[in-house]
Amino acid sequence: MTATLTHDTITQSFREILSSLSEKERHVIEKRVWIDGAKETLQSIGNSFSPSITRERVRQIEDSGIKKIGRIIKATLLTEIQDKSRSLLEMHGGVLSKGKLVNLIIKDLSLDSTINNGVLEVIIQSDYDVKKSKQKLGCEIYFYLPSISKSTIDAVHHEAVKILKKKKDVMDKVSLYEMILENMSDQKLSLTFIDSVLDLFEDIVKWEETLIGLSRWKILNPKTLKDKAIYVMKKDKVPTHFVEIANKITSYLGEEVKVNTIHNELIRNEEFVLIGRGIYALQEWGFQAGTVLDIIKETLTKNGGPMNTEDIIKSVLKTRDVKETTIYMNLQNKKVIERVGRNFYQLKTA
């Protein structure tokens, strides 16, 4: 039967179904799915009646017509579209945004991309085994199976936002989903369901296929050069030479950046720490600004007493990418450091 589903056969079959509706129902649905002309709003459709009717009355007429379509459609080839929509919803945990479900149906049934999406939406909505959400600020309209509770959808979204706000950083998607599963263990949820739910909300952004965060975070929408540098460094999670940072901004974000420009940006912003020979790290990773001598002084101060050369070198290399000989040379600064035994050093006493 799939071969018979084409742009023309779907449109023809849908028109035949519309002819079975009342004049008002047919008029409203034709305007809503823009079969002849542009799609119209509830208000403009209401004004087209004489006398005019309210938006709510238009909605009531539309709902009545869609229910009739649901009864008639079972005897037509359009049931294949309804079957496919239920199958796709089941595959995605029981919920999908309106746009994503329609696009998947077009792809799976090999339909022409010029097919009227509004017609497909009505066909799906007329299925008694599928529900459609109402318009809600910050959330896409979605279709869902009757076994799915809208309160559960909202609860998953709320839990995700709570975890991300506490984390204050992007997370691996699977890690976030598993935390949601654990925190909502009293409900029978699946990773697939959670993934589909978080596609619906505007304040959640899925990033680089494996990561997820809040849309208001700059890291997910870098605009300034500083934010772009932070973006590529957080993506790779390792200290990086400034030339490579410039190259990665070009590679990841498609923006040509001059090496000197990015180097100046790294130098003047305290979020970045030079850890040696042009290599920068993020301060939030635990790196602190300062020279090798500053790091040695801090290490000795924290230790509270003499340290041997090997331990000093190990400590400094945790936050600086320098040669061991550079550390040893700084230990010879007699104005600040004094040797107190074979290979042992401490801060010079007054």
Single out the residue in 231, 263, 285 at which a domain terminates: 285
- CA-to-CA distance for 290 and 18, rounded, in angstroms? 75
The backbone region for 286, taken as left when phi is positive above 0, alpha when psi lies in -120 to 50, beta otherwise, is left
Single out the residue in 159, 192, 218 at which a domain terminates: 218
Contacts by 6-10, CB closer than 8 A, 24 or more apart = 6/111, 6/112, 7/111, 7/112, 7/114, 7/115, 9/77, 10/78, 10/81, 10/111, 10/115, 10/119, 10/120
Residues 246 and 182 in one domain: no
Residues 248 and 174 in one domain: no
**Contact call for residues 210 and 224 (beta carbons, < 8 A):** no
At residue 350, the pLDDT reads 64
Order the strands of the 272-276 sheet from edge to edge: 240-241, 279-282, 272-276
Domain count for the chain, please give it: 4
- CA-to-CA distance for 206 and 212, rounded, in angstroms? 4
pTM of the predicted model, to two decimals?
0.65
The pLDDT tens digits along the chain (350 residues) read 444 788 889 989 999 999 999 999 998 998 888 765 567 888 888 898 888 899 899 999 999 999 999 999 988 999 999 999 999 999 999 999 999 999 999 989 988 877 888 899 999 999 999 999 998 999 999 999 999 999 999 999 999 999 999 988 888 999 999 999 999 999 889 999 999 999 999 889 887 678 898 877 766 667 889 888 988 888 777 888 889 899 988 887 788 888 899 999 998 888 898 887 788 888 888 777 777 888 888 888 888 888 888 888 888 887 776 778 888 888 888 888 888 888 888 888 76
At residue 122, the pLDDT reads 94
Q: What stretch of H or E contains 99?
A: helix 98-108
Residues 269 and 318 in one domain: no
Residues 36 and 134 in one domain: yes
At residue 205, the pLDDT reads 85
Here the CATH number for the domain that contains residue 199 is 1.10.10
- CA-to-CA distance for 172 and 177, rounded, in angstroms? 9
Residues 19 and 107 in one domain: yes
**DSSP code per residue over 14-42:** HHHHHTTS-HHHHHHHHHHTTSSSS---H
Residues 230 and 166 in one domain: no
Single out the residue in 259, 285, 311 at which a domain terminates: 285
Residues 232 and 138 in one domain: no
At residue 276, the pLDDT reads 74
E strands in the chain: 95-97, 131-132, 142-144, 171-172, 204-207, 211-214, 240-241, 272-276, 279-282, 307-308, 337-341, 344-347
Residues 158 and 279 in one domain: no
Residues 87 and 65 in one domain: yes
Residues 242 and 214 in one domain: no
Query: Range of 265's domain?
Result: 222-285
At residue 208, the pLDDT reads 67
Residue 229: exposed, middle, or buried by beta-carbon count in 10 A (0-12, 13-18, 19+)?
buried
- Give the total residue count for the chain: 350
Here the CATH number for the domain that contains residue 73 is 1.10.10.10
**Two tokens at 27?**
């008029």
